[in-house]
Amino acid sequence: MDTQTQQLSVKLADCVAACNHCATACLEEDNVKMMASCIRTDLDCAAICSTALGFVNRQSQFTDDLLRQCIEICNACEKECRQHDHDHCQACADACQACAKACENYVGTHV
């Protein structure tokens, strides 16, 4: 596995962990209903990043297509989490931003 692929794998795994942590932490907030959109977006983002990680590691021919979707969902999750002042939301937003950037850098560079 080349360095860029390894870096992408780490960013995807980090994003999965951050999103799952954020969703769980949001469930502990006082106003859980206010966090519903954040929780849903976190779970969607964790799911797509986890799936993308498998595609990357298998060197699937469909990796770039899936990573484009991953970028879109990571960006949406970052935007949602930035709206909340909680540390877990900000950490999740940072992980999503880094993951989207790693996906963008990877797309189109591997055959």
Q: What is the CATH number of domain 3-106?
A: 1.20.1270.360
pLDDT at 64: 95
Domain segments of the chain as ranges = 3-106
For the stretch 45-101, pLDDT in tens is 999 999 999 999 999 999 999 999 999 999 999 999 999 999 999 999 999 999 999
Q: How far apart are the first and last CA of the chain?
A: 13
Residue 108 gets the label, from left (phi > 0), alpha (psi -120 to 50) or beta, of left
pTM of the predicted protein model: 0.95
Which residues make Cβ contacts (< 8 Å) with residue 78, sequence separation at least 6? 92, 93, 96, 97, 100
Residue 90 neighbours by CB under 8 Å, 6+ apart: 81, 82, 84
Q: How far is CA 6 from CA 12, 43, 102, in A?
A: 10, 23, 10
